[in-house]
Amino acid sequence: MKVNGQTWEYEHRPVIIGSSSIVGPEEGEGPLAEDFDFIYDNLEINEKTWEKGERRLLEDAARKALELAGIQEEQLQFYVGGDLMNQIISSSFAARQMGVPYLGVFGACSTSMESLAVASLLVDSGAARYAMAGTASHNCTVEKQFRYPTEYGSQKPPYAQYTVTGAGCSVVTNQGKGPRVTHATIGKVMDLGVKDPFNMGTAMAPAAADTISAHLKDTGRTPDYYDLIVTGDLASVGHPITRELLLQEGIAMDQTNFMDCGLMIYDRDKQKYALAGGSGCGCSAVVTYGHILKQMNSGKLQKVLVVATGALLSPISYQQGESIPCIAHAVSLEMGG
């Protein structure tokens, strides 16, 4: 593997041979519904607690990804995953059920691409033949942990985002058909000084811009190399800020191929509760492993850069008045050998 700056170039171009996205009812009412593998009709996900529901989403997505990859669970050598819960319990408890070697990672909402980058590194280095990357989030678990319990019914400002209820998993190996992982750009922690836990888009925008800039510099590419560059969950506030920050660096993003998963997953005109758009570990995971990979496998997209963003705060750091450090990790996906 070659390393240039912050970017890994995978020598053997690991391939995603199977992926799955499982979502809740509200995501099933959005414009990407037909690209999800299963839509639960209840926010409880048929469980007694929301935390157990989030875990079930992840277990379902893992099983479906293995099925679509055409391999058995015992063939899987590593599971790399994380989530937003304290001590990443959704991923750890799901890994307990899977019974495979497990690497827990945390990048907040950037975990989807962090886990894919690490899983691909395992395969590219020869440390594994089959590795799975996965993550999940649930609207009610995240609201309860980071802001206010759902039952409290607190009002949110219009710039707030709506945490996606969903899980996404992918199986990466060294040969087969599907999108290939060619590069991963590992982000740096950026801090704009934002302290408002509702204002995630503004807080994460500098990290997204920095990682995109680093990726283009490290690879010698321009934005038009990609059919699509998609950020994780900056939504309607953070996405235009990122565009402006990049423009200040002389990088002009095309209006047609620069999008955001948080803006894609909900119809904000009809789903008013989404406010500025989607967020959460499940946001970029289900959009990427559902919609985007289906677009690639069907030939509608050939080259995609997914830039997942994450806010690295905790309830304790917020309560102590700390600002919100953020990060973004980018993974380049391409069709072809």
> Quick one: pLDDT at residue 337?
67
Q: Backbone phi, then psi, for 179, in 5-degree steps? A: -60, 140
> Quick one: pLDDT at residue 152?
66
User: Is the same domain home to 138 and 234?
Assistant: no
Residue 12 belongs to what domain range? 2-173
Query: Per the structure block, which two tokens stand in for 190?
Result: 């950026």
User: Is the same domain home to 50 and 168?
Assistant: yes
User: Is the same domain home to 276 and 310?
Assistant: yes
Cβ atoms within 10 Å of 86's Cβ, excluding its own:
10
User: Is the same domain home to 148 and 225?
Assistant: no
Give the residue-averaged pLDDT of 60-75. Answer: 96
User: Is the same domain home to 42 and 129?
Assistant: yes
pLDDT tens-place string over residues 253-305: 988 899 999 999 999 999 999 999 999 999 999 999 999 999 999 999 999 99
Domain holding 231: CATH number? 3.40.47.40
User: Is the same domain home to 225 and 296?
Assistant: yes
> Quick one: pLDDT at residue 324?
96
pLDDT tens-place string over residues 167-191: 999 999 999 999 999 999 999 999 9
User: Is the same domain home to 192 and 75?
Assistant: no
User: Is the same domain home to 204 and 289?
Assistant: yes
User: Is the same domain home to 93 and 108?
Assistant: yes
> Quick one: pLDDT at residue 148?
67
> Quick one: pLDDT at residue 215?
98
Query: Per the structure block, which two tokens stand in for 151?
Result: 């039952």
Number of H helices, E strands in the chain: 10, 15
- Rg of the chain over Cα atoms, rounded to whole angstroms, equals 18
Nearest to 130 by CA among 167, 91, 175: 175
Distances (CA, A) of 61 to 66, 67, 232: 9, 10, 19
> Quick one: pLDDT at residue 176?
94
Amino acid at the residue 27: E
Strands 326-334 and 38-39 turn out to be: unpaired
> Quick one: pLDDT at residue 65?
98
pLDDT tens-place string over residues 101-152: 999 999 999 999 999 999 999 999 999 999 999 999 999 998 878 776 667 6
User: Is the same domain home to 219 and 150?
Assistant: no
Distances (CA, A) of 305 to 99, 140, 229, 257, 328: 32, 30, 5, 10, 12
CA distance 235 to 9: 29
Mean pLDDT of the chain: 95
CA distance 29 to 300: 23
Q: How many domains does the chain have?
A: 2
> Quick one: pLDDT at residue 273?
93
User: Is the same domain home to 19 and 84?
Assistant: yes
Q: Answer yes or no: are the C-beta atoms of 309 and 328 closer than 8 Å.
A: yes
Q: Of 173, 197, 230, which residue sits at a domain end?
A: 173
Share of the chain above pLDDT 90, in %: 91
Query: Per the structure block, which two tokens stand in for 122?
Result: 């395992």
Give the residue-averaged pLDDT of 193-209. Answer: 95
> Quick one: pLDDT at residue 255?
81
Amino acid at the residue 289: Y
